[in-house]
Structure 1
Amino acid sequence: MEEAFFRTHTNLVELQNAPVRRNLMDEIDWNDRLIGIKGTRGVGKTTFLLQYAKENFSPTDRQCLYVNMNNFYFQGNGIFDFAVDFVRNGGKVLLIDQVFKQPNWSKELRQCYDMLPGLKIIFTGSSVMRLKEENPELNGIVKSYNLRGFSFREFINLQAGTDIPAYSLDAILYDHEHIIKQVLPLVSPTKYFQDYIHHGFYPFFLEHRNFSENLLKTMNMMTEVDILLIKQIDLKYLTKIKKLFYLLAQNTEKGPNISNLAKDIETSRATVMNYIKYLADARLINMIYPVGEEFPKKPSKIILHNPNLLYAIYPIQVNEQELMETFFVNTMWKDHRVNQGTKDHFFIVDDTKKFRICNAKGEYKLRYNSDTIYARYNTEIGKDNRIPLWLLGFLY
């Protein structure tokens, strides 16, 4: 049976041609023996595993093997028994895709860790999984990382053939005029920004299929598989979760009214709050809180996780300010904490930095304050505490 897996592995690795080398490849400590790569559906976790194999082993090297838990073979065979055979034949690195499809996967990984000290396992799972909280047997032994969708920087590098590096938030805030002078001779960011906002976050835009249809399918899978299967929710509640998601997406201007939502989907307030958390874990929405507050309190604002989702839900009418705020929160979300500010269109980042998202074309109406950073869209350049919003897409 292992022969068939090796044939598949060799084919997949030989065909693998990742269009963009993800930054996460260099952030992971590959010396760890148990590594979990979490991420929302569609962000390229399978590609990431195969890229690791391609960079570190020849396609026919039997020390490394990629397997997908979707394979029916694993309905009757456990991960541990498979790993024992693999190690007996000289295997060193096992790449396991969609690990949560296997019952008792966490106990089996623990068994591999304890009984097979010469084996490294790198596995992928859904962003909905709480690796350590829900699987105490992995506590202290698993190192967990998040793979995100493409940043605006990765999208530009892919589309324009450039190799522009990522910048820290402090570098962008205090040196943006200098950074822009380095970027603009290479590429015009505004030429690519609208495409990124529409379809650039999910790598599957590269497949020559209808992107919107593909994204809708992915969003359905996030609720049907990632939330229902992993959280073990009965199928009969699926329509309630989907309806809640739609109602939240429709009303991002004001904070959610939990009592009304509970009435609309015919369930309790506590269940609504749990469902909202699941939708956030699935990376369909982001919950924004005032500074110092967090779940299980009610968020002060809910926005979609990334701008591409807005176009999937409202293909006709998309509000530009809402799109830009969604982009801002999404790009900050990887390494920074974003809270609700005191006024509309204001956000507090990392408890201290006050941001306002504004349209450069309408800014003659604004009075600028020195304590606020103005992230401006519809412009390529910045000055002092006014930075172009697109540049925040270069944080990773």
Structure 2
Amino acid sequence: MNLQILFEEQTKLLHKTSLEKKRYLYTKINWSLKSIGILGQRGLGKTTMMLQYIKEYFSDKNSALYVSLDNPYMQSVSLFEFAKFFEQHGGEVLFVDEVHKYENWSTHIKNIYDALELKVVFSGSSILQISQQNSDLSRRSIIYTLENLSFREYLELLDIYKFDSFSLEDILKYHITYAQNISKHIKPLMHFKEYLEFGAYPFILEDKEAYHQKIIQMINLILETDLPHINHIDISQIAKLKKLLYLLATNVPFIPNITDIAKATNISRPKVYDYLEYLERAKVINSIKSKEKGYNIMAKPEKLFMQNTNISYAITANIDTGSGREAFFVNQIKNALSSQTRLIDDRIFSVKKGDFLVDDKYTFEVGGKNKDFSQIKDIENSYLAIDDIEVGYGAKIPLWLFGFMY
């Protein structure tokens, strides 16, 4: 095995890697653990984070190595044997990218953990369900999920302004102070409008003109490559999946009728449920269940949204304003609370009074600046998340401020 070629490739990658801007997850990862998994949608910066860590702590050493498993060379060797060889030649940390491209990857990671002193950091598609791997990898590896850019991160990435993040509870308590301070430095409504269309992915820095085209390409790769490989979906079903996704994107707000979806897409009812789950795990859509049925695993979702509003803009120019507001709110709440370990996912539900129940405690109604409290006036811990206002008052909070939670 020739490590020299791989180190030369890594040197080229590190030369292009900047340490100036890091994703929110970078400082939350416990990099000292023996086995770390980083999952996330394509294009969010998983590879960059790994290269940043190598550049920051191992730039003058040959004890850390980055490899991508879609490299033809790595496809031709045993990952475990490669890791063993690397350790024998001074390796301390192996960074393994695109693990979902490698057959039986989880068994190799498990064997590295059990048989070697080598630390391993691996990344892969958000579709992967580590808990279901045959090697019981979930007991050995700590898994982190990288989400799309928050509104706050977008502002920092584009050098507009660098702000601190706030917890949900602090936003509810101190939103007036926060909004006033932020509005002294930027025009939040102007930037928020831009974020909804162009702000969810770091590749906005590369080419704004081709931004939506890159999102479409990313979705095609998820549907045509990742889903068939990971979930063993027959390639003949991909056209139906694309039809399903377009149906969800253009019919908003989308309150799903499984029978109607099955007829419109020529997909069987059981498969509709499966495909909706796959699309959600792939971070292409978000589903919301009702509080009343929320703990029933088989309950159909009450509402379906694109995972973020950028995907909606990439698929169709006819964006429903109300649905876009709700999609942003759902996206930021789910992303911000995703790091909290929960026995049951109670981050956000739909409710009969108001729009959403968050953290099983707070009721929110999302709307434009003329929205009032009439639907939630008698509900404890209820708030309005309002678009088109810079600063709120009382329990009326600017919608854009929920983009500052991570």
| Cα shift at 1:18 | 5.3
Distance 1:210 1:110, change over 3 A: same
More divergent stretch after superposition (279-288 vs 184-193): 184-193
Deviation, structure 1 residue 390: 0.6
> For residue 295 of structure 2, what is the aligned residue in structure 1?
293
The residue identity in structure 1 corresponding to 2:255 is G
Q: How many residues align structurally?
A: 391
Root mean square deviation, CA, Å: 1.8
Report matched runs for 1:1-396 at 5 Å: 1-17=2-18, 20-58=21-59, 60-117=60-117, 119-208=118-207, 210-291=210-291, 292-315=294-317, 317-336=318-337, 337-343=347-353, 346-360=355-369, 362-363=370-371, 369=377, 371=379, 372-396=382-406
Give the structure-1-normalised TM-score.
0.94
Structure 2 distance, partners of 1:4, 1:365, is 64
Other structure's SS at 1:290 match: coil
The 3 A distance-change label for structure 1 pair 364 and 30 is: closer
Q: Deviations over 1:244-280 (max 9, x none)?
A: 1122223332421111222223232111100010000
**Alpha-carbon separation, structure 2, partners of 1:217 and 1:178:** 41
Instruction: For 1:265 and 1:358, locate their aligned partners in 2 and report how far apart those are by CA, in whole Å.
Output: 31
Deviation at residue 182 of structure 1 after TM alignment: 2.5
Structure 1 segments unaligned to the other structure (5+ residues): none
On the 8 A contact 2:309/2:324 being kept in 1, the answer is yes
Deviation (angstroms), 1:367? 7.4
Residue 332 (structure 1) shift? 0.3
Q: Distance in 1 between matches of 2:53 and 2:372?
A: 50
Distance in 2, matches of 1:34 and 1:364, equals 49
Give 1:167 shift: 0.3
Normalization by structure 2: what TM-score? 0.92
Shift of 1:45: 1.1
- Deviation of residue 135 (structure 1)? 3.8
| Distance in 2 of aligned mates of 1:206 and 1:163 | 16
Shift of 1:370: 6.2
Q: Are the structure 2 counterparts of residues 245 and 295 from structure 1 closer, same or farther at C-alpha, using a change threshold of 3 Å?
A: farther
Deviations 1:12-38 (A, max 9, x none): 112102563122112111221110000
CA distance in 2, matches of 1:264, 1:124: 36
Instruction: Give the deviation of 1:121 after TM superposition.
Output: 0.6
Letter in 1 for 2:187: S
Paired-residue identity, %? 35
Q: What secondary structure sits across from 1:109 in the alignment?
A: helix
Q: Deviations over 1:274-331 (max 9, x none)?
A: 001000001111110011335432111111100101101112x212111111110000
- Rounded Cα–Cα distance in structure 1 between residues aligned with 2:135 and 2:269: 29
- Residue 172 of structure 1: how far off its partner (Å): 0.1
The range that moved more, 11-20 or 72-81, is: 11-20
Q: Measured at CA, do residues 363 and 302 of structure 1 come closer, stay the same or move farther in structure 2, by a change above 3 Å?
A: closer
